[in-house]
Structure 1
Amino acid sequence: MNRPRLFLITPPAFDPVPFGTQLEAALSGGDVACVLIYMPDALSRDRQKAAEQLVPIIQKGGGAAIVYGDTQAAGRSGADGVHIDTSLEDLKLAVESFKPDRIVGAGGTKLKHEDMEWAETGIDYLFYGRLDLDEREEAHPKTIQRAGWWAELFQTPCVALAGNITASAEEAAKTGADFVALKDAIWQHADGPAAAVREANTILEQYPFDDGD
């Protein structure tokens, strides 16, 4: 038996040094599978500098460091992988460059046949949820529906993006997703990121699943 694991997402803009302290606190709060360094509007050199600051913290905390949308920054910073959501061609290039030694994740698909097509490239996970939308308390209904469909039928692990409060991890976990993603629920928690990670893990522990024959 297994259970969903936490997939943390950084804010879209941050100062790497003070944020590194927040990140260390989050990782001290319990199990975190990976952290997505999400800086969609940053220049590549700034994304790389941030990754160089954060990757060692993530890895020391036992998580995998994933860089959003920038294979060069991911490679140069020693990150564990890259997350691609631009196009199938970009994804294929990332898989060719990074696999099998590093992680390649994908997201941003809109249709079920795209999900299957992207998974066929050999990615390590398929991400459900819109990273560029303002978060609400609960996960988006479409995220829940699609993650549940995927988790029931396919072997490639999936990630379900929850809402901006830790309690929303429960609805995402119920989909059967392998990972539950949280962003603002961690960094804006009233009691700090360590407390947020503890709360989220307490919820996820209630949803064990059989990880297959």
Structure 2
Amino acid sequence: MNDTPPTRCRLVLAAPAGADRASLAARIADACAGGDVASLILPQYGLDDAAFQALAEAVVAPAQAQGVAVMIAGEPRIAARTGADGVHAEGGRAALADLIDRYQPKMMVGAGGAKDRDAALELGELRPDYLFFGRFGYDTKTEPHARNLALGRWWSEMVEIPCLVLGGATVESVADVAATGAEFVVLSTAVFGEGVDATAAVAQANRILDETAPAFETAS
């Protein structure tokens, strides 16, 4: 990780489905060794609560030791039990309102699941810490989904709440997301896919962002 975070679109990692505790912790450590990573989102992917908590226990503290904030996208109590930095809601407005009421400001609360502008604005009215455009596990194509890019561009121009946009299955897709003005690009397959060198992938993603991402204005 960089000691000083860059003032441009930053990288967020979404853990892949199906990894065991030891291998996932090792792959995350390898990824973080490649350069700046702002956050890690750990989706539950259908695991029962006990298995998911065991996975989170193996991942959260080591990632945080690398300076990476960890968001739990699943049973929110597991975030508190494992000392994660926040929770990620995908269940719509009511679920998000409940999490905000229970966990903000002690923990970050992010939101996803909005498929159009109206749904995004409904979630935004509740003031989550960020809004995510994309679906975990659906970065199977080379390029980011056009709808996610369009929503990210619109949101970045209209709303102050930061947004995350899911990239594609290749590292090069970070340039497309950064061009929307989104604060964060989410990669999963491009970093954790079979046969991928996670360290090299994160390093390449940061090089591309350094070269192509527009700089954000900073407060004076």
Tell me if both proteins adopt one fold, taking TM over 0.5 as the criterion.
yes
From 195, 200, 204, give the equivalent of 2:205.
200
For residues 95-154 of structure 1, give each alpha carbon's deviation from its aligned partner in whole angstroms, at most 9, with x where no partner exists: 111111211110111221221121121211100112243511100011111100101111
- The 1-side partners of 2:141 and 2:71 are apart by 24
Conservation of the 8 A alpha-carbon contact between 1:189 and 1:196: no
- The 2-side partners of 1:191 and 1:130 are apart by 21
Alignment of 1:159-174 (within 5 A): 159-174=164-179
From 17, 38, 58, give the equivalent of 2:22.
17
Equivalent residue for 2:125? Answer: 120
1:39: how far off?
2.4
1:208: how far off?
3.1
For residues 26-79 of structure 1, give each alpha carbon's deviation from its aligned partner in whole angstroms, at most 9, with x where no partner exists: 011101000011222101111111111100111011110111122111111110
Equivalent AA in structure 2 for residue 144 of structure 1: L
Normalised by the length of structure 1, the TM-score is 0.95
Alignment of 1:53-202 (within 5 A): 53-133=58-138, 135-188=140-193, 190=195, 192-202=197-207
1:87: how far off?
1.9
Corresponding residue SS for 1:51: helix
Corresponding residue SS for 1:19: helix
Corresponding residue SS for 1:205: helix
Corresponding residue SS for 2:88: strand
Give structure 1 regions of 4+ aligned residues with deviation exceeding 3 angstroms: none
Conservation of the 8 A alpha-carbon contact between 2:116 and 2:151: no
Percent of residue pairs bearing the same amino acid type? 33
- The 2-side partners of 1:191 and 1:51 are apart by 22
**Residues 41/189 of structure 1: CA separation in 2 closer, same or farther (3 Å cut):** closer
Equivalent AA in structure 1 for residue 18 of structure 2: A
- The 2-side partners of 1:93 and 1:191 are apart by 38
**Unaligned residue ranges in structure 2 (runs of 5+):** 1-5
1:18: how far off?
1.7
Equivalent residue for 2:3? Answer: none
Q: How many residues align?
A: 213
Conservation of the 8 A alpha-carbon contact between 2:21 and 2:55: yes
- The 1-side partners of 2:153 and 2:68 are apart by 25
